[in-house]
Amino acid sequence: MTGAVASAPGKIVLCGEYAVLDGAPAICMAINKRARAEVAYAEADVQNIRTSGYVEGEWKFHATVDGGFEWFEDEPPPGSLDLLHEVRNTMGIDGNFDIRMDTAELLDPVSGSKLGLGSSAALTVALVTAFSDVTNRAGLAAKDAAEAHRRLQHGRGSGVDVAASLAGGVIEYRTQDSGARQLVSWPAGLEYALLWSGQPASTSEKLTRLDEARIGQQPATSIAQLCQASESAAACWSAGETIELLEALQRYTDALMQYDVDHDLGIFDAGHQELADAAAKRELVYKPCGAGGGDIGVVFATDKAAVAEFINLAGESGYRLLDISLEASGAILENRARH
């Protein structure tokens, strides 16, 4: 049978993480590491799922009337296919399909750990894109992907990772405008490097801690400062004002540190604080990306040699340079496969 193979890029939040949850803009770039999904109508009632990446395996199942799965013989690890379940239910998929899902590019090739590159969002977008093609539902792909991933995260998160996977390139994203995204250019002369801490972090755990910290409390001053700094950085980014942008990114990083203290989130754990302090002394800007507390950090500067020197410094602390770059293309149908 004829099917569809789709892919979508992972992402890095460069600025605005946490602030985007309160309506401020986030700057996010798609990266040249992709999740892939292949969907094809199954000729038999028994459907097949094969996964590569964070979860490895192959399973056969029947789809139940309530949108669940009835497994044959072995079952997948608990929770490992929740994403597929949410995509099928969101899109109202009721046919029989063979499915392949691959997130291997979004893992650390050395340890096999998640790198914090938005693998679940990228796979959600890839799956929705593939299902949309074979079911002629393409016009609703963006809405379906956002809703399926929102359900997967139990209504938490901003949706910036889904937006970046859909669009590609660099986007300015706001939740307060119903997830509006705007493509922006890379500022001239802005050098950067992405560094892996070697310690995976959980975004969902950070969001749970944030929810708990906010219960019964008045908004901290640092929230307003974080949002103001995010607005300033986004404005400088869009205007291509590189020197002013670096100053705004440092203000944002300082505000993020205070926000971290106020909410006890551990954003600057796993060595991020030490690298941020070292960067500031060298007139560079370093900050964790996304949830923080591990995963990835980014260093910004206008001097390429200074970035190279900082990479060596970070290496002494156990950080490793990632071979990751900006990806201009968002979700795409790669080809059609025959089974």
Q: 339 in a domain, yes or no?
A: no
31 is a domain residue:
yes
Are 12 and 132 contained in the same domain?
yes
Annotate 127-149 with b (16+ C-beta within 10 A) or e (fewer).
Answer: bbbbbbbbbeeeeebbebbbbbb
Dihedrals φ, ψ of 99, to 5°? -135, 135
For the chain, the domain total comes to 2
Domain with 143, as residue range(s), is 3-184+327-334
Residues 74 and 205 in one domain: no
- The phi, psi pair for 45, rounded to 5°, reads -70, -25
Whole-number pLDDT of residue 216: 58
Residue 49 lies in a domain: yes
| DSSP sequence for 68-102 | -EEEESS-PPTTTTHHHHHHHHHHT--S-EEEEEE
Is the domain of 10 the same as that of 122?
A: yes
Residues, the chain, total? 339
Q: Is residue 130 part of a domain?
A: yes
Q: Is residue 26 part of a domain?
A: yes
The amino acid at 221: T
296 and 149 part of one domain: no
CATH assignment of the domain containing 77? 3.30.230.10
Residue-wise pLDDT tens digits, 157-174: 899 999 999 999 999 999
Whether residue 35 sits in one domain with residue 104: yes
Same domain, 195 and 150: no
Torsion of CA 296, 182, 231, 30, to 10 degrees: 10
pLDDT digits (tens, 9 = 90+) for 286-306: 999 988 888 999 999 999 999
User: Do 141 and 13 fall into the same domain?
Assistant: yes
Same domain, 113 and 168: yes
What pLDDT is attached to residue 1? 45
User: What is the value of pTM for the model shown?
Assistant: 0.92
* 87 shares its domain with 220: no
* CA neighbor of 137 nearest in space, from 273, 289, 6: 6
Same domain, 9 and 154: yes
The amino acid present at 142, given as its one-letter code, is A
Say which CATH number the domain at 252 has: 3.30.70.890
Structure tokens at 262: 């106020």
Distance between CA atoms of 18 and 210, rounded to whole angstroms?
A: 9
Does some domain include residue 294? yes
Residue 45 within a domain = yes
Q: Which long-range contacts (CB under 8 A, 24 or more apart) does 155-161 make?
A: 156/204, 156/207, 156/211, 157/203, 157/207, 158/20, 158/21, 158/26, 160/11, 160/13, 160/16, 160/20, 160/26, 160/28, 161/11, 161/13, 161/28, 161/118, 161/120, 161/121, 161/122
Strands 47-52, 97-102: parallel, antiparallel or unpaired by DSSP? parallel
Q: Is position 198 within any domain?
A: yes
Same domain? For 215 and 313 the reply is yes
Positions in the chain short of pLDDT 70 = 1, 67, 177-179, 206-207, 211-220, 336-339
- Kindly state whether residues 56 and 89 are assigned to the same domain: yes
